[in-house]
Structure formats: structure tokens, C-alpha cells
Structure 1
Amino acid sequence: MDLFSRSWTALRAAVAELPDEDFERPSGCTGWLVRDLVCHLVLDAQDVLITLVTPAATEPTRDAVTYWHVADTPPTGEDPLDALIPRLAAAYGEPRLLKFHLDDVGSAAGRAAELADPGGRVSTRDEVLTVGDYLSVYVLEWTLHHLDLIAHLPSAAEPPAATLAAARASLEEIAGAPFPASFSDKDALLVGTGRRPPTGAEDAALGGLAARLPLVLG
């Protein structure tokens, strides 16, 4: 629960501190500007709110690792929802309106997570998870998107070290193998999810794991 709060608070703070001109810069998500990514975060916050008030009475069908679907290829932007995001983001017109909406809905999502019972069960995507596992999913989600947000903004604040480490641990569980100790947590996340290609030295250090990368999470 603490890691969820820390990752989400840091991400929202990074968005709040962006100057308007940075909203038109590219993000780390292929085909999306920073404003598009921020719009996606608004929808993510809505999903958190919806899921936390959708209790389930059955046993969990997924956990924080098995929740993720690992695709063979990265998204192209042709998925209907992916294609809708830039149009929604453009409709805001001004960055301050996007910032306001993210702060408004995002604060509510953060409060709802703090009030939730970690052992409770919720339903999302036709699956059942404990609240604790569901929020752990978002530690990885928020941390990756924080890296996406600042991909071309070198002066912006990075995710907290604790959430980078937790996100790396989650990705290693999904991969079924650890990343080399020579990889920083940030580099493990970027290379592991295909956000940047490995260098020659990194590829050699990955060994057999290289054949399983990138892990395209959905």
C-alpha cells in the first residue's frame, strides 16, 4: 500500500511540475506525446476507483504477477483505445486542465487505495485479485509510466528509488529470472520492457534472458 502511494504521489507531482511546453514533447510511449500519456493516467486513475468499488466474493484468479499479459510485439497505436487517447488529450486544449483533472481524479484514487482493505477482493478485466495484489500491479504501472513521462525530459524528477526497486522485482517475477546485478533498476525496467534496446555489453550480460525480451506488458 505504501509503495502504491509513493509511486502515484511521485508521478502526479512530476506531472504537476511540468511547464506547459513539455506537454507537446514526445513521451516514452510510442506515438504518444506527454499530454497523451497524462490523459492515459487520468483513465488509469478512473480504473483504480472503479475497481476498488467493485468487490468480488469468489477466490482470486490472478495475482500481481499473473495479472499481466505478455504480448509478442509492442503496441502500434492502432488499438481503438490507444488511438482514442490522443484525441481525448487534444480536447483538453490547455495543459492546466489536464493537470487539474489528473490531480482531482488522481487524489481520489490515492485516498481510495489508502482506505481499502489489502485482503479484500476486487474484480477487473473479468478477473479477481486481492486489493493488495491489484495495487501492486499499479506500482509497476505507475513506475513505468513515470519513466515514460520523463523519457525526453532530462531535468524532470525520476521515480523514487524504492518504487524502482519494487517494479524491477515485479518484472523479474514476470520474466521468471533476475536481471544482471550490473543493471540499475531503471535500466532493467527500460531494457526489460523494450523501452530502449540493450547495449552490446548489456546484451552479453543478459545471456539466455535476452531471448525472452522485451516483455510487452498489457
Structure 2
Amino acid sequence: MHDSLRLLTTAYRDVAAVLGALTPAEGFEPTGCAGWTPVDLGFHMLSDARRALVALNTPADGPADTDAVDYWTAWRPPEPGDEAELWSTRIAASVHGGLPGISARYAETSAAALVAAGRVAPDDLVGTQGRVLTVADFLSTLTVEAAVHHLDLVLRLDRPGPAAGPLGEVRRVLEGLLGSPLPARWDDATAARRGTGRESLTAEDRAELGGAAAGFPLFG
């Protein structure tokens, strides 16, 4: 198993385990995505796993036009007018059988995506969201998405967070976007939260980052 698949396997299985263990009451706690509960966020992650399954079964013509770092330059924090997408996710989530239905579908869909990922080579090309990437780079984007949302999911819950491997991949991508290392005193979870705007930079952070602080959040 190559590294990108190993990391995604860890990320997807960990998210599936947390979603499957949540109680109905926990399904309505706040998450790190403003306005979304674990039910809403679980549906969003289910949609991403479905997108992965489609992309991995749809070879693309080359050359690749983006990589695991550049992919994220198109994703910025929500801006005014983005509320429609947040509401549409909530509405869609509400008709999918609640948390049990969503967690079951996520488990089977993410598992199928991992099988599909194991049947293609890391340097094969796939298309997603109008871009072409190698499989290895695509799997990295999925790992980053899953790890960041795993952090969101457990924000108010006494549940395990993402594993070290997927969080390390988030840090690698954030540092690639920044063009320099993040503060060494940040652990990888802090790097993920601050790098994506889920936590504000402190005065100490801004002093250490200097002019680079203006580029935060690096994606959202």
C-alpha cells in the first residue's frame, strides 16, 4: 500500500468509527463548521466520499493541471452569499435517515472508495471539480478534507480526533501553501485549526509569522 492510500485509509476509517459511535444526542451538537451539526457535517463528508468514488472510477486525460497543494488555492473560507450551500446541505442531510443512516452510508461509501483507490496506480490521472490530478495527489486532498472535518466533528465531543498521519499531511499542505514552515510550537491539530481559520491567530503567532500572517487562513 503506497503512502497516499495508507493515509486516506486511516483518515476514512477513523471518521467512519467516530460517526458510527455517536449517540443521537451528540448528532445535534455544534461542530467546527458554523451552523452545522454532526448530522450535517456527516452528510457533507458522505458527499465527498461519493465524489471520491466517482473520480477514482473515471480516468482523465493528461496532463495534470494541479497538485495536492495547489488544489487548495481555490478553497477559501465562506464569504457572504455562501449561506445557500450551507442550508442546502442541512436540508439534504435531514432526509437521509438522521445520524444512523448517514454514518452507515459513509462507512460503506468510504470503504468502496478505498477499494477503488487500491485498483489504480499512484501516477494515474483522475478528474474532479474541473481539475486533473494524479491519484496520489487526489488521495492527499481527500485525506486533508477528512482530517480537517474530523477535527470539526469532535470539537464539542469526547471522541478521538484524527490520527497523526492524516494531521501531518494537513500540515504538509498548509506549509506548501504558505511557502515556509508553520510555527514549530504548534502541534499538528493547532496547525490545522489555525491554518484553516478555525482558530484565530494570536498576537504571538502574528509576530512570529510576520508578513506571512496576512495570508491566513491558507484555505477554509
After TM superposition, the score normalised by the length of structure 2 is 0.91
User: Does the CA contact (< 8 Å) of 1:146 and 1:158 recur in 2?
Assistant: yes
Return the match for 2:10 from 1, 6, 12. Answer: 6
Distance 1:43 1:75, change over 3 A: farther
2:70 maps to a residue whose letter is: T
**Total equivalences in the alignment:** 216
Distance 1:76 1:111, change over 3 A: farther
Return the match for 1:110 from 97, 114, 117. Answer: 114
Report the secondary structure of 1:123's partner residue.
strand
After TM superposition, the score normalised by the length of structure 1 is 0.92
Q: Extract structure 1 runs of 4+ deviating beyond 4 A.
A: 70-73
Q: Distance in 1 between matches of 2:172 and 2:140?
A: 11
Bigger mean CA offset, 182-191 vs 112-121: 112-121
User: Does the CA contact (< 8 Å) of 1:26 and 1:33 recur in 2?
Assistant: yes
Instruction: Map 1:155-194; keep pairs closer than 5 Å.
Output: 155-194=158-197
User: Does the CA contact (< 8 Å) of 2:53 and 2:116 recur in 1?
Assistant: yes
Percent pairwise identity: 34
Q: Deviations over 1:28-71 (max 9, x none)?
A: 01111111000001100110011111111221111111112345
Pairwise CA RMSD of aligned residues?
1.7
User: Does the CA contact (< 8 Å) of 1:70 and 1:215 recur in 2?
Assistant: no
Q: Distance in 1 between matches of 2:75 and 2:140?
A: 20
User: Does the CA contact (< 8 Å) of 1:121 and 1:128 recur in 2?
Assistant: yes
Report the secondary structure of 2:72's partner residue.
coil
Residue 113 of structure 2 corresponds to residue 138 of structure 1: no
1:20 deviates by 1.4
For structure 1, the residue ranges without an aligned partner over 5 or more in a row are: none
Residue 111 of structure 2 corresponds to residue 122 of structure 1: no
Residue 204 of structure 2 corresponds to residue 204 of structure 1: no
Instruction: Map 1:31-42; keep pairs closer than 5 Å.
Output: 31-42=35-46
Q: Deviations over 1:92-146 (max 9, x none)?
A: 2432111211112121112212222111111112211111111011111111011
Which residue number corresponds to residue 64 of structure 1? 68
Bigger mean CA offset, 94-103 vs 41-50: 94-103
Q: Distance in 1 between matches of 2:46 and 2:212?
A: 34
